[in-house]
Chains A and B, each alone.
Chain A
Amino acid sequence: MFSQFRRSFIPTCSQLSSMILSENSAFMTVGYCNMASDFRINEFTDKYLNRRKAEFTEKLEIFSPFQQATIPIYRVTNSEGQFIDPNYDFDFSKEMAVKMYKYMVTIHEMDKILYDSQRQGRISFYLTNTGEEAAQIGSAAGIHDDDLMYGQYREAGSLLYRGFSIEKFMHQCYGNAKDIGGGKQMPIHYGSSEHHFVTISSPLATQLPQAVGSAYAFKREKNGRIVLVYFGEGAASEGDAHAAMNMASTLKCPVIFFCRNNGYAISTPTTEQYGGDGIGGKGIGYGIHVIRVDGNDLIAVYNATKAAREIAEQNEPVLIEAMTYRLGHHSTSDDSSAYRHSEEVNTWHQKDNPIVRFRIILENKGWWSNEEDITYQKNIRKEVMEAFLNAEKVPKPNILSMFDDVYKEMPKILQEQRDELVEHLNKYGKYYPMKNFEGS
């Protein structure tokens, strides 16, 4: 009997003991968890997530990049040049609108003449702006004339809008004695301190963190200026793009990042460039304001840039991704039919041409006519051709200027090298193309 009692007691005791332990454990866990969450939520919110509200979750969920809403494409007009909102308050003055249109046509005509001149071997290289005129003119118009611009290479329209003369474009492409760059860079590497357009260089994306540094200088000077920096969607894959956006965000710089997403980096389509929500999708990750815009809609680009400038002025960086299409070859060294069908190009050309879209708007307003268009195209072609032919007659710079501006002053060793070349040319000059250069 006693034996039986003892045998039944032991399990009961074990069970009871287990219950007590379990209860204690649960109690302590709950209490500890509440206390810990309180302090950590504040830490994470204030410091780790830049004042974005932190919260815990017990739901195991890994976020898919397709789960986030795609950034929409802001536009004012459709491809046929019709306002989406019939009551849209189009507040451009006639003068401004016609001027913007003329700049787009001018760039287009200049492109045709210079492209052909390269095919004829008269200049060494050229790169057209075809299809991206609205993105250039609209963005340039959306900021102030003394805002600083950094370019990639397909932004000649922005510089033209700033007042850079057709003659100066020609001189740079020829690298003649009137080239303010001194004939040192390949064609289309324009620059102008007078027009606040920093001289272009070939290495991709290097201008992005530079633009951020310049913007920081403006912020410190409190001069009210901002920086606008252009780049293509291919350049956005460079490490410098990551550097720039992160620094613009942490150092709170008055800069607009303007990305021309034209679908291709030479032969590489965007499907092989990135897997995310374009370039705009990266901005949020850095804590940068973002807008995606129809790059072929001049009004939309202008509005977006103008609004972005107001934000940038408050020392907050903004990223604008302008969706457009590269109608031309990448450059004169590229035949784009090798990697994209002409049907694709023709479709964009015929159905969504930025110049045509804006012309329709002007015509519907009664600000422009077919006759005026024909006349302007003829006149500007003549003007461009005249500037082209004049530039071709200008001699190349003095040979010895190739030694200038390596440093602010010329070091002795470089003076010696220059003198060495002088002595050499005095003896062997007949074997060099001396006659094309000034002072020979």
Chain B
Amino acid sequence: MATTRLIMKSVRSLGKIPIRYSSDIAFVPSQADPSFGESSKMNLCQAINNAMDIAMESDSSACLFGEDVAFGGVFRCSVGLQNKYGKDRVFNTPICEQGIAGFGIGLAVCGSTAIAEIQFADYIFPAFDQIVNEAAKYRYRSGNLFNCGKLTIRTTWGAVGHGALYHSQSPEAYFTHTPGLKVVVPRGPIQAKGLLLSCIRNENPCIFFEPKLLYRTAVEDVPVGDYEIELEKAEIVKEGKDITVVSWGTQLHVALDAANVAEKEIGVNCEVIDLRTLLPWDVDMIAKSVNKTGHLIITHEAPLTSGFAAEISSKIQERCFLRLEAPISRVCGWDTPFPHIFEPFYLPTKWRIVETIKKLIDFQY
């Protein structure tokens, strides 16, 4: 595990070797709520850094820890924070994910704000027992005598072009089946900063997935001040009347791209919704949209079977049965491990989404 990551770092540090990117994402910048004040251009990792800076500034109990966070982190999300807040608040741990999660729970049990980093979402599984059996159930099992609400676990997430099996995963569905957790995925810098601050200040254990493909490529005018974006609330990113498309993270941008193609080539007007919080999720907004459009497509990078799209499909089918004009469709990663050289064929591309939009609109019964 550590060796694999060392190789990963080595490859990245060798500037002369060209990195092949086969995932071409057209990032679609958003506009921040003007009430949030003055903005500055930031990419995703700068927005994350800014969020943690604000969190640590406003809460003297807040600590940030994990593998390699001291020097700024392998994606540079914690640059400058140890210098600013001290070695006792921003520090490296031994290489041990179950230890990082358990340690974070212990900090939170005593009232400290714990921001734990798991270097890649693919390596969160050694901490699965601490997260699912412990963090999620802490308050419940103690009758609210104890809790670890001040724990946030942030981790990098999603495809990156060449990450293969262990640097590309989207494990959110494993955790959405666990009552007691909140699961959050932002689509860009503005969203990331606001949602991360909400997670850190929320009094429930939160898992915050950061789309690593967007760390440097996604640039937006991000409000520089302190602001929070509400958890458990989806956002309509593009209004439309014919079909609802739901996604989150990097894939949200693929959905937007597909929506544009569908408009130009098929004449279909798509409503695109960013789910943002997967647990607990915003059933009402999705249902309202589907009641308007009569069609639903859900798309995510994670494999199809038991992916979170299944949960959305089932609930919307229950809620909007009389309004659905075609079967709900899921456009997802195939049920294989995430491959290296086959990434372009694995990912649910905009063309697969366009194809599905066409099928749903043309559906006859």
Residues of A within 8 A of B (CB): 148, 179-182, 184-185, 189, 191-193, 198-199, 201, 203, 206, 208-218, 220, 239-240, 242-244, 246-247, 250-251, 404-408, 411-414
A214 with B110: in contact, given A199-B142, A209-B102, A247-B96 (CB under 8 Å)? yes
Distance (whole angstroms) from the CB of A294 to the closest CB of chain B: 30
**Is B180 within 8 A of A212, CB to CB?**
no
> Is B334's beta carbon under 8 Å from chain A?
no
Residues on A with C-beta less than 8 A from B61 are: 217, 220
Distance (whole angstroms) from the CB of A232 to the closest CB of chain B: 17
- Among A185, A213, A246, A411, the residue within 8 A (CB) of B104 is A213
With the chains together, A414 CA to B140 CA distance in Å? 14
With the chains together, A270 CA to B359 CA distance in Å? 64
**Is B129 within 8 A of A214, CB to CB?**
no
**Is A246 within 8 A of B99, CB to CB?**
yes
A209 with B141: in contact, given A214-B109, A217-B112, A251-B93 (CB under 8 Å)? no
**Is B110 within 8 A of A408, CB to CB?**
no
> Is B143's beta carbon under 8 Å from chain A?
yes
Distance (whole angstroms) from the CB of A193 to the closest CB of chain B: 4
User: From B179, which residue of chain A is reached at the shortest CB distance?
Assistant: A406
**Is B134 within 8 A of A201, CB to CB?**
yes
A217 with B180: in contact, given A191-B146, A203-B133 (CB under 8 Å)? no
With the chains together, A244 CA to B130 CA distance in Å? 13
With the chains together, A206 CA to B139 CA distance in Å? 15
- Among B111, B130, B145, B180, the residue within 8 A (CB) of A191 is B145
Distance (whole angstroms) from the CB of A176 to the closest CB of chain B: 12
Residues on A with C-beta less than 8 A from B108 are: 213
**Is A208 within 8 A of B133, CB to CB?**
no
Distance (whole angstroms) from the CB of A418 to the closest CB of chain B: 13
**Is A209 within 8 A of B99, CB to CB?**
yes
**Is B143 within 8 A of A209, CB to CB?**
no
With the chains together, A376 CA to B96 CA distance in Å? 50
Residues on B with C-beta less than 8 A from A181 are: 141-143, 145
Besides A210-B102, A213-B103, 4 new A-B residue pairs in contact (Cβ under 8 A), listed by A number: A212-B102, A216-B107, A218-B110, A250-B94
User: From B132, which residue of chain A is reached at the shortest CB distance?
Assistant: A203
Residues on B with C-beta less than 8 A from A411 are: 232, 280
24 A-B residue pairs with Cβ-Cβ distance under 8 Å, sorted by A, are: A185-B141, A191-B145, A198-B146, A199-B141, A212-B106, A213-B108, A213-B110, A214-B106, A217-B111, A217-B112, A218-B110, A220-B89, A220-B112, A240-B98, A240-B129, A242-B96, A243-B98, A246-B94, A246-B96, A247-B96, A250-B93, A404-B144, A408-B139, A413-B280
**Is A206 within 8 A of B129, CB to CB?**
yes
With the chains together, A404 CA to B126 CA distance in Å? 29
Residues on B with C-beta less than 8 A from A182 are: 143-144
Residues of B within 8 A of A (CB): 61, 63, 88-89, 91, 93-94, 96, 98-99, 101-112, 114, 126, 129-130, 133-134, 137-147, 149, 179-180, 182, 203-204, 232, 280, 283-284
Residues on B with C-beta less than 8 A from A246 are: 94, 96, 99
**Is B280 within 8 A of A209, CB to CB?**
no
User: From B283, which residue of chain A is reached at the shortest CB distance?
Assistant: A413
Residues on A with C-beta less than 8 A from B63 are: 216, 220
**Is B103 within 8 A of A247, CB to CB?**
yes
**Is B133 within 8 A of A206, CB to CB?**
yes
A216 with B232: in contact, given A405-B140, A406-B179, A413-B280 (CB under 8 Å)? no
User: From A410, which residue of chain B is reached at the shortest CB distance?
Assistant: B280
With the chains together, A215 CA to B189 CA distance in Å? 35
A407 with B142: in contact, given A209-B98, A213-B102 (CB under 8 Å)? no
- Among A189, A220, A412, max chain B CB count under 10 A is at A220
Residues on A with C-beta less than 8 A from B99 are: 209, 212, 240, 243-244, 246-247
Distance (whole angstroms) from the CB of B63 to the closest CB of chain A: 7
Residues on B with C-beta less than 8 A from A413 are: 280, 283
**Is A192 within 8 A of B133, CB to CB?**
no
User: From A218, which residue of chain B is reached at the shortest CB distance?
Assistant: B110
Residues on B with C-beta less than 8 A from A250 are: 93-94
User: From B105, which residue of chain A is reached at the shortest CB distance?
Assistant: A210
With the chains together, A371 CA to B26 CA distance in Å? 86
- Among A206, A246, A412, max chain B CB count under 10 A is at A206
Residues on B with C-beta less than 8 A from A216 are: 63, 103, 106-107
Residues on A with C-beta less than 8 A from B149 are: 408
With the chains together, A408 CA to B99 CA distance in Å? 25
With the chains together, A156 CA to B119 CA distance in Å? 39
Distance (whole angstroms) from the CB of A187 to the closest CB of chain B: 13
**Is B102 within 8 A of A193, CB to CB?**
no
Residues on A with C-beta less than 8 A from B91 are: 251
Distance (whole angstroms) from the CB of B81 to the closest CB of chain A: 16
Residues on B with C-beta less than 8 A from A414 are: 179, 280
**Is A180 within 8 A of B107, CB to CB?**
no
**Is B134 within 8 A of A210, CB to CB?**
yes
**Is B130 within 8 A of A184, CB to CB?**
no
With the chains together, A182 CA to B137 CA distance in Å? 13
- Among A184, A215, A247, max chain B CB count under 10 A is at A247
Distance (whole angstroms) from the CB of A60 to the closest CB of chain B: 28
Residues on B with C-beta less than 8 A from A206 are: 102, 129-130, 133-134
With the chains together, A215 CA to B103 CA distance in Å? 9
Residues on B with C-beta less than 8 A from A218 are: 110
**Is B109 within 8 A of A240, CB to CB?**
no
**Is A208 within 8 A of B141, CB to CB?**
no
Residues on B with C-beta less than 8 A from A203 are: 129, 133-134
Residues on A with C-beta less than 8 A from B280 are: 407, 411-414
Residues on B with C-beta less than 8 A from A201 are: 133-134, 137, 141
Residues on B with C-beta less than 8 A from A240 are: 98-99, 102, 129-130
User: From A215, which residue of chain B is reached at the shortest CB distance?
Assistant: B106
Distance (whole angstroms) from the CB of A240 to the closest CB of chain B: 6
With the chains together, A201 CA to B114 CA distance in Å? 21
User: From B92, which residue of chain A is reached at the shortest CB distance?
Assistant: A250
Residues on A with C-beta less than 8 A from B106 are: 209-217
A406 with B140: in contact, given A203-B133, A239-B98 (CB under 8 Å)? yes
Distance (whole angstroms) from the CB of A351 to the closest CB of chain B: 39
Distance (whole angstroms) from the CB of B136 to the closest CB of chain A: 9
**Is B93 within 8 A of A247, CB to CB?**
yes
With the chains together, A401 CA to B89 CA distance in Å? 38
With the chains together, A214 CA to B110 CA distance in Å? 6
User: From B139, which residue of chain A is reached at the shortest CB distance?
Assistant: A405
Residues on A with C-beta less than 8 A from B101 are: 209
